[in-house]
Structure 1
């Protein structure tokens, strides 16, 4: 079970579970502990919106998973974000004996981070659950397709990647471009999308990714929410998500 020496104000109760707040080289991190740890010390790794729409977090805590989060939201899945992800991963796996494989969770722009990290680390990725995810930064925050984009976020995104606008348009390092390592490793994907997502159009993100992943022989499930927009994320009844993660992650640990 995860435990570190922290000031009292850095440890709190979160929905009935113990939450540790700490920093790794200046990056805010969180770990929530289950009441009883499942076999193999599995964990769920959130890349965005900690404490919002926590339905799957609570379901997996109940199943014995730790829930982890590190704040890299404003780095948009760039190499700077992935370095911070590597640091957090190594800290939890090497120092606290978390399972070497993790279930990744990416809401909205968190999709950029979890997919880009998984493409570099397919051997460390058990499965991915992405919710209305950004799969191509040209769509959001770039707004180069049917969505409105976000000027300020686009500026921050370009800065994070060290690209100008012309270079960003030609960039081939988005999740939709780097699916082959995931397919080769047989990593299962689950996307939940609001079919009327006004910010991150499904056609430019999830649909493009799903079509390419399927052509590579990869497995992806998509749960559609007819008429729903970008938010709210997740499902109030997270059973389908929990069953996906248990099947493709926890069940495999039991057989080890």
Structure 2
């Protein structure tokens, strides 16, 4: 075999190896159907996770990441799947976005991006307390966040689960969940929790600098997560910092239902943000 043949063989072998590496691994675990799509249930870092595959993945393999309450008020999730987005969820309840929760999410992220080649910047969906998880991830990893969508989201844990039981807000609050929150964050007592600056409303600077778009959907009569202590505060502060933020206010409604009857404004926000970041997608 002459030198040109050897070089040609090396090129072919290298291309073959690179092509094999570029092929995403199939998702493992139990396979079922969810809303007409293929669902995979498996375990990452000792935690149960869910991935739902679109029928025709969008080039670039974008994905939406649910922070808690998979399957609740899912019409936007379903619409995104129909648009070619993957959907993922990792439930670590009673951690309220604390560092331990983010550590679990980091393991899940590594699996989805490295093994299954989903896009390095997920879009985050935070309903109610799920907002604490999404904002904690986004603040820790603004470079790995495409956008954040919060729906009647908890943006200050003093408001919920603090609220009236702790004299920290106008919402109903929850004394048992407050106790869980102290444990999750390793706060010594109420005073340490109240003095904490680990709330989403207090940690917006990294996101504003990275210009991570945020969409807020909230009701103006929510007795559980009052908008004036949560979504409205985040909106005003993020806008002051120069961060890109939009909001949709639902007049006269309470904490439920989440989302919108017609999810098109939410889906359009996702697609618009994706296209702005990837005007030409070659993957």
Superposition TM-score tier, normalisation by shorter sequence: over 0.9
- The SS at the match of 1:84 is helix
- What TM-score, normalized to structure 1? 0.96
- What TM-score, normalized to structure 2? 0.87
Pick from 63, 72, 77 the counterpart of residue 43 of structure 1. Answer: 63
Aligned length: 253
Q: Does 1:186 align with 2:211?
A: yes
Pick from 81, 95, 120 the counterpart of residue 101 of structure 2. Answer: 81
Compare CA radii of gyration and give the structure with the larger one.
2
Q: Give, in whole Å, the separation in 1 of the partners of 2:110 and 2:173.
A: 34
Is the CA contact 1:130–1:192 (under 8 Å) kept in the aligned structure 2?
A: yes
Q: For residue 219 of structure 1, report the CA deviation from its aligned partner.
A: 1.5
Question: Could you say which residue in structure 1 is the equivalent of 2:126?
Answer: 106
Question: Could you say which residue in structure 2 is the equivalent of 1:177?
Answer: 202
Q: State the Cα deviation string for residues 74-108 of structure 1 (Å, max 9, x = none).
A: 20010011001111111100111110011000000
Q: State the Cα deviation string for residues 179-219 of structure 1 (Å, max 9, x = none).
A: 00110011111011011000001000011111111110011
Q: Does 1:246 align with 2:271?
A: yes
Q: Give, in whole Å, the separation in 1 of the partners of 2:270 and 2:280.
A: 15
Q: State the Cα deviation string for residues 101-132 of structure 1 (Å, max 9, x = none).
A: 11000000011110111011001111111000
- The SS at the match of 1:152 is helix
Structure 1 unaligned regions, length at least 5: none
Pick from 21, 27, 32 the counterpart of residue 4 of structure 1. Answer: 27
Q: State the Cα deviation string for residues 33-83 of structure 1 (Å, max 9, x = none).
A: 000110101000000211111111111101111000000232001001100
The more displaced of 242-251 and 129-138 is: 242-251
Q: For residue 236 of structure 1, report the CA deviation from its aligned partner.
A: 2.2
Question: Could you say which residue in structure 2 is the equivalent of 1:64?
Answer: 84
Structure of higher RCO (CA pairs closer than 8 Å, 6+ residues apart): 1
Q: Does 1:149 align with 2:173?
A: yes
Pick from 124, 134, 154 the counterpart of residue 154 of structure 2. Answer: 134
Q: Give, in whole Å, the separation in 1 of the partners of 2:53 and 2:65.
A: 13
Q: Does 1:124 align with 2:141?
A: no
Is the CA contact 1:186–1:219 (under 8 Å) kept in the aligned structure 2?
A: yes
Q: Does 1:255 align with 2:280?
A: yes
After superposing on structure 2, the runs of 4+ consecutive aligned residues of structure 1 that deviate more than 3 Å are none
Q: Give, in whole Å, the separation in 2 of the partners of 1:95 and 1:251.
A: 26
Structure 2 unaligned regions, length at least 5: 1-23
